[in-house]
Structure 1
Amino acid sequence: MARRNACMACHGLVHKQVGPGFAQIAQRYRNDAEAPVRLAAKIRNGSVGTWGRVIMPRQTQVSEADAQALARWVLSQPDPPS
Structure 2
Amino acid sequence: MKLKYLALCLPLVVGSGLATADTDFAAVNDALKKNACLACHAIDSKVVGPAYKEIAAASKDDAAKAEVLKTHIKSGSSGVWGPIPMPPNPNISDDDLTLIVDWLMAGAPH
TM-score by length of 1: 0.86
Q: What is the match of residue 35 of structure 1?
A: 65
Looking at structure 2, the residues matched to 62 and 35 of structure 1 have their Cα atoms a distance apart, in angstroms, of 19
**Partner SS, residue 48 of structure 2:** coil
Looking at structure 1, the residues matched to 91 and 99 of structure 2 have their Cα atoms a distance apart, in angstroms, of 14
Q: Between Structure 1 and Structure 2, how many residues are aligned? A: 78
**CA deviation map 1:11-52 (0-9, x unaligned):** 011111000000000001112111111101111000001101
**Partner SS, residue 37 of structure 1:** helix
Q: Is the Cα contact below 8 Å between 1:41 and 1:67 reproduced in 2? A: no
Pick aligned residue for 2:79 from 36, 45, 49: 49
1:70 is displaced (CA, Å) by: 1.2
CA root-mean-square deviation: 1.2
1:58 is displaced (CA, Å) by: 0.3
**Partner SS, residue 2 of structure 1:** helix
Specify every segment of 5 or more residues in structure 1 that has no aligned partner in the other structure, as ranges. Answer: none
1:69 is displaced (CA, Å) by: 1.8
Identity %: 35
Specify every segment of 5 or more residues in structure 2 that has no aligned partner in the other structure, as ranges. Answer: 1-30
Looking at structure 2, the residues matched to 65 and 48 of structure 1 have their Cα atoms a distance apart, in angstroms, of 24
TM-score by length of 2: 0.66
1:68 is displaced (CA, Å) by: 2.0
1:75 is displaced (CA, Å) by: 2.4
**Partner SS, residue 32 of structure 2:** coil
